[in-house]
Structures are given as structure tokens and as C-alpha cells.
Homo-oligomer: A and B are copies of this chain.
């Protein structure tokens, strides 16, 4: 285990007990105007999670990714790189693909309307009946692109013209979980959840365990709330962990590991569940024996799609005898997820009241207070704390 890992920095002085610090006003979960600001200043600007590299492993494989109004085609190019094209024909704006995933057999992308044809790298190859001249050149008509960065099998996008370097936004993540060799893991299971709540309520829910004793009796038995440690936060990455009570345990229905430890995971990591928010749309939960992650897609101030994935080692996925363990890990988290969705949706409903001004944070919710500050900073809003 690498001794210079950042994971052992403990809760610092900048996160004191915050009893009585106040939450954001309710409008941050309901206002269409604030949501549109978030889209512009966060979803269209930050690096955001898009898909797993394994989902588009062969040349021509593609997956559509929706970022608010924008549809993007993530495609494996001939040179093995991943390209992210806006799903819009340069001719008259027709959406090129409508199937959520597939393979471009011809190794080119053709518009169904007037048959304009693009290379997998987005270059315009052919525009029937169009003559290049003063006002039209193929070169100007390549598909518009988003930036792509792959980190340990996770494909990230940025829709910004000139994004901040990935390594700056994700500094706290780099090298953090290298023992898991996550690029070698594969998707064993996927569940899509449609939720009626603001995207930030899911992040808040993920970042505190104050709710665990009441909401998650089984989880609290496997990893006691008292063991929750704030681990690290820098920029877009905020993390912590909880300790497993059982030797060789994990988050499954019977509390036993679902599979052998992943790759080179060892030492303390064998007894810990890590919870890392990779702001704004990825929640990453490495276990000793598998990795769980949530991909959040906002569809408005009060609606999201939450895609939950379970990553295991390929040899585990292919081992018939290991299926019961995988099933138990899926069942545990599906149960736990649904417990969380219920309270998040109730919080969405309650915070709409005009009588809800601002709530209170306990000392166990200090990370939420920090998340709120990051949001206000990204939006360029005055901090309500400083204006009272």
C-alpha cells in the first residue's frame, strides 16, 4: 500500500462541530431559475461522468449520454480513443442517433435525413449534392465535440470550451484507489431509478450517516454510524469511510463478502467502505470486494435519473458459483437505495413550503455545509450565512 496516499488525512480544524449552522433556503431545490444557472455553471462546465469505457469497447461502439438539453454520442474511434460528439447534424440540426447504444457498423455516422456522413472522429466525409465554395466547406461542418478524459475505466466529459484540467478538478481522486485497478473491473449489474427530487439531495444523502440508524437498520448493523470518518475533500471530490464490524465482511444481505478482495486491496481497506462524491454527478463507493457507483442525471429542479452500477472482477462475473454473492450485493444496495430515495423525495416535498426558511445542520452534517459553500461559489451567489 502506497504510504503517501491522501486517504488518511483526518477531519481537520476547518470542519468543527457545526451544530446549528443553517442549510440553504428551499428555493435551491425548486427554482427553475437556479436550476438553469446550475446547468450553465456546473453541468455544462465541470468534468462530469459519462459512461464506463467497457460500454464502448469495440471500434464503432457508441452510447448516448444526456446532459440536460444536450445529447452526446460517446463513440470508440478507429485509433482506440473515445470521442464525444454533440448528437446534431451540421446540415440542418437533425439528431443523428436515437438508439441509446449500439455500433456504427459502417465505421461512420450517417444522418438519417439527408445522408450527410461523418467519420467516427466527427469529420464530415460526404454531403450529397453540396458543392464546396465560398459559403460552405466540409471542414467547417465537422460534428461539434466535447472534451473527454478517461480515469480508471470511467469516461468523463466536459462541455466547456476550455475546461479546467481534469487533474485539477479531480486532484483528490488521482492515485486514491489504484489498488482496486478499477479499469479492470466490469459491470455485473445495473439498475435505473427515476426519482422526484433535486440532484443535490442525493449528494447530501450520500455524504452523511446521521440518517443511517433510522433509515438503514441493516447497513447500520454492518457498518456502525460511529465509525463514519470524514476522509478528504478538495474541490469536486469529498470522501469518507465507514468500518465493517465483521472480518471479511461487506455490504451484502448477510454481511459476508460477495467475492474475494478486488485486485491489490489489502490492510485497512479490507475493513472499510469508502464513500466518495465526485462532484457533480458521480458517487463512488469502493468496497473490499466490489465497487458500487451512482450516475446522476438531472432532468429539472425536481427530477433525476439515477443509474446504479455494480463493478466486479471479470473472473468473478464469469464464475457461476460467485453469482449468489453478486446477487446479495445487488439486493443489499437496492434495498438501501430505496430507503434513501424515500426520504430524499419527502425532503423535496417538504422544502417546497414557504414556511421552510432554512434548516439546521448537526455536527454529523458538516460535509453538507461544505457542499453548500461549493455550490454557492460555483454559482457566484452570496452566502446567506454572511448576509444575516
Q: Is the CB of B112 within 8 A of A364?
A: no
Task: Check if A26 is an interface residue, CB within 8 A of chain B.
Answer: yes
Contacts of A14 in B (CB 8 A): none
Chain B proximity mask over A358-374: 1 for CB below 8 Å, otherwise 0: 01111110000000000
Contacts of A363 in B (CB 8 A): 129-131
Contacts of A26 in B (CB 8 A): 93
Contacts of A360 in B (CB 8 A): 90-92, 130, 135-136, 141
Q: How large is the interface on A (under 10, 10 to 19, 20 to 34, 35 or more residues)?
A: 35 or more
Binding-face segment, A101-109, A260-268, A313-321, A347-355: A347-355
Q: Is the CB of B113 within 8 A of A215?
A: yes
Task: Check if A234 is an interface residue, CB within 8 A of chain B.
Answer: no
Q: Is the CB of B70 within 8 A of A113?
A: no
Task: Check if A384 is an interface residue, CB within 8 A of chain B.
Answer: no
Q: Is the CB of A353 within 8 A of B131?
A: no
Bound state CA distance, A19 and B140, in angstroms? 14
- CB-based nearest B residue for A18: B135
Q: Is the CB of A136 within 8 A of B93?
A: no
Q: A70-B354, A114-B211 are in contact. Are A131 and B89 (CB under 8 A)?
A: no
Task: Check if A375 is an interface residue, CB within 8 A of chain B.
Answer: no
Bound state CA distance, A130 and B364, in angstroms? 9
List A residues 270-305 near B (Cβ within 8 Å): none
Q: Which of B69, B350, B361 contacts A353 (CB 8 A)?
A: B69
Contacts of A349 in B (CB 8 A): 71, 95, 98
Task: Check if A356 is an interface residue, CB within 8 A of chain B.
Answer: yes
Q: Is the CB of A133 within 8 A of B20?
A: yes
A105 to chain B, nearest CB (A): 16
Q: List 25 A-B contacts (CB under 8 A).
A: A20-B130, A20-B133, A22-B135, A23-B93, A71-B350, A86-B355, A87-B353, A88-B351, A88-B353, A88-B355, A88-B356, A90-B360, A91-B360, A92-B361, A93-B356, A95-B346, A95-B347, A98-B349, A112-B215, A112-B343, A113-B215, A113-B346, A114-B362, A130-B360, A141-B360
